Structure 1
């Protein structure tokens, strides 16, 4: 599970939730989002995105732009973290955080036990 603001992404299940509610995102847009997440804040060129998402198909940049717009729509208020770098590509600025709720709970529980 990966959290980006209100967005929770389950890459293995290819599911997205916004504020706990499931949302629809097309398969190509999901692929674009996953490539951006994997980049962990680094710039991802348009060429790299196209190569990763459409490896055997010739597509124009406009197709990529359409899917970026779809991702931003799903992100809602957090869309400001997905920026365009003119002439180069896209960057997911907000640091991607892996959700470790269970481990945090265990650590806090252990701390409570350790203090008298």
Structure 2
């Protein structure tokens, strides 16, 4: 479990709660969010996000921007914690405590989920 502002994130279950209520976040947006959480407050370049979330697909910056917008919408009042660094990438301002040293990124190429 990871707490970020009013969010409670369960990376292993890919679940997010805002003020105790569950919220939906698309598979790719969740992947982007988990990469930002793993960075523990460090800047994550756009290139790294795209490489981690879409490793076998050519993606333009606009696709990433759309998912960042969804994450900010989900974060509500805490959206200010996700900062754009113009021309470089994104930073989740509040450092978080990871439950384990292992990666929390989960590939979502499962055909049941569909492309996102």
Q: TM-score, normalised by structure 1?
A: 0.83
Q: Indicate the SS of the match to 1:77.
A: helix
Displacement after TM superposition at 1:16 (Å): 0.5
Q: Distance in 2 between matches of 1:80 and 1:18?
A: 15
Query: How far apart in 2 are the matches of 1:17 and 1:48?
Result: 26
In the TM superposition, residue 64 of structure 1 has moved relative to its aligned partner by: 0.3
Counterpart in 1 of 2:4? Answer: 4
Note closer, same or farther for the CA distance 1:60–1:49 as it changes in structure 2 (3 Å cut). Answer: same
Q: Which residue in 2 is equivalent to 1:113?
A: none
Give 2:75's aligned residue.
75
- Matched residues in 2 for 1:71 and 1:27: separation? 11
Pair 1:55–1:19, CA change in 2 (3 A): same
Give TM-score scaled by structure 2 length: 0.83
Contact residue 38 and residue 98 of structure 2 kept, 8 A: no
The separation in 2 between residues aligned to 1:30 and 1:16, in whole angstroms, is 9
| Structure index of larger Rg | 1
Kindly report structure 1 stretches of 4+ aligned residues shifted beyond 6 Å: none
- Gaps in structure 1 of 5+ consecutive residues: 100-116
Pairwise CA RMSD: 1.1
| Alignment check: 8 A CA contact 1:3 1:98 kept | no
Asked if structure 2 preserves the Cα contact closer than 8 Å seen for 1:3 and 1:9, the reply is: yes
